[in-house]
A and B are shown apart, each in its own frame.
Chain A
Amino acid sequence: MSSIISVANLSKTYGSGFKALKNVNLDIKRGEIFALLGPNGAGKTTLISIICGIANPSAGRVLVGGEDIQTSYRKARSLIGLVPQELHTDAFESVWATVSFSRGLFGKPKNPDHIEKVLKDLSLWDKKDNKIITLSGGMKRRVMIAKALSHEPQILFLDEPTAGVDVELRKGMWEVVRGLQQSGVTIILTTHYIEEAEEMADRIGVINKGEIVLVEDKATLMQKLGKKRLTLHLQGKIASLPESLAHYELELCDSGATLVYDYDTKGERTGITSLLGDLRTAGIRFNDLDTTQSSLEDIFVDLVRTS
């Protein structure tokens, strides 16, 4: 898949001296859903703002659809639809007027059929004549998506699209995003909800303290970093582990009532069979066991802590 966005050596230092981005390199593939994860203040919004033209870069280069965002900003920006994090809407305009305004702003000729389709897809059609101020938060969020889609962009940035949105609406939004991907739109979303990235993304990037810490296919990431944990519930408490089990690096928990063993599912050997054999030899019996796999959240927390 070819890159639709290419970020090279991008840095951003604010007037206060704060370095929001440090030499960021990132390629977004055409047609993918890319989730950018990171804690507050990691640089997610700054990165998006620079790509979209809202903030100036301090150094580096960004190409959108092969067009430089600074020297060829018209072509680059016309490919992008942006849904910012905050609910920035006009209060007294009607839904129809504000979405049509966005289309005009991006230099597209009037197309009421397209606006109608966008509003219907986002379940806003029956609100088209309502003033924005009368809409609920969730509806305003959808109006912002409608504005971003009004000019038929090839790339859609969704900055925290489901922040403060209830579960049902969030799932509805995911459906919309999937539908957009199927129609060929490349989607970049930032999110705090790991579940969202896990559910939606084809690839995941993690940004922390202005640096891209990792970019990986979601499946590979989860497989590569996804460790499993075996927990054995012992029949009786033990005070310490026999020497013969030392090389398994077991952890004795719950005052000696459970044994915990971490293993790598991708490893050639998990060591489970021999562990169970050695436990029997050592006379340690258990009456239950369970295994758990690290979630993306564990992986994320791990990465952010160590980076």
Chain B
Amino acid sequence: MNHRAIRAIYLFEMARTWRTLLQSIVSPVVSTSLYFVVFGAAIGSRISQVEGVSYGTFIVPGLIMLSVLTQSIANASFGIYFPKFTGTIYEILSAPISYFEIVLGYVGAAATKSIILGLIILATAGLFVPLHIQHPVWMLAFLVLTAVTFSLFGFIIGIWADGFEKLQMIPMLVVTPLTFLGGSFYSIDMLPAGWRTVALLNPVVYLISGFRWSFYEIADVSVSVSIGMTLAFLVICLVVIWWIFRTGYRLKN
């Protein structure tokens, strides 16, 4: 194992985060705070409790997931796309480093950033609403699992993208709608029966449901299904990445 190479990539990516602190950390925190103001305070004050939890408190796990999902994808996809764009990928490809180690460096850094961000948003949420986490270990487990899985997904998008438009396309056109429709701001039980069935096709529902369960022990689907679905998505991403490196897709001629 070339642990120095993993460390080099990891620290390089983390250095980019600190260099772009405003964009990486501050702006998601600001936008999340705005969600609290709009949904939590303004609209939430007119909504009664959801399954025994005040609306402002109810949306906290969903908001964290919303940021963790989008930021994991953005960080990881940009992290690997940028060397492709500038051409510095030549150095990664010509270094004595395995594909697994490359993924570990990039995805590890992207996931770390998302987890830090998730925790910062959690702390920010604590300023707006009272929080009580029933299962902190499970909460962390869901956070880490989601950050890693969606960083892997972002890594795939970064390899696939051959322009900035494609880099933005999947996060904007697929992930954001899925996250909004995945129960960030409501319980899918609130939906009419037909739409509830449709919502269950959305993988994000399972992530948010499991994460929310770790906070309040309320869930749209059972926790084991949530974990199972997240792990399934993780495995799918790993298989795709294995295939990418095996074939050299969009990396090697």
Contact = CB atoms under 8 A, between A and B. Distances in A.
B93 A107 contact: no
Interface stretch (B4-12, B143-151, B183-191): B4-12
Contacts of A90: 86, 88
A129 interface: no
| Most chain A C-beta atoms within 10 Å of own C-beta, residue among B87, B90, B91 | B91
A53 B19 contact: no
Given A105-B91, A106-B95, A55 B253 contact: yes
Contacts of B119: none
B50 interface: no
A88 B86 contact: yes
Interface stretch (A70-78, A207-215, A272-280): A70-78
A97 interface: yes
A147 interface: yes
B87 A53 contact: no
B252 A105 contact: no
Contacts of A103: 8
A104 B94 contact: no
A24 interface: no
Contacts of A75: 96
Contacts of B94: 52-54, 77, 80, 82
B248 interface: yes
Contacts of A91: 86
A109 B4 contact: yes
Contact of B96 (A15, A77, A86, A88): A77
Interface residues of B, number: 25
Contacts of A53: 93-94
A276 to B, nearest CB: 59
Interface in B1-23: 2, 4-5, 7-9, 11-12, 15, 19
A202 to B, nearest CB: 24
A101 B8 contact: yes
Interface in B98-134: 98
Interface string A256-298: 0000000000000000000000000000000000000000000
Contact of B253 (A56, A88, A106): A56
Contacts of B7: 104
A77 B97 CA distance: 9
B5 A88 contact: no
29 contacts: A14-B253, A52-B90, A53-B93, A53-B94, A54-B90, A74-B2, A74-B96, A76-B96, A77-B94, A77-B95, A82-B91, A84-B87, A84-B90, A86-B87, A88-B87, A88-B88, A88-B90, A89-B86, A90-B86, A91-B86, A97-B15, A101-B8, A102-B91, A105-B4, A105-B9, A105-B91, A105-B97, A106-B5, A108-B4
Interface of A: 14-15, 49, 52-56, 73-78, 80, 82, 84, 86, 88-93, 97, 101-109, 147
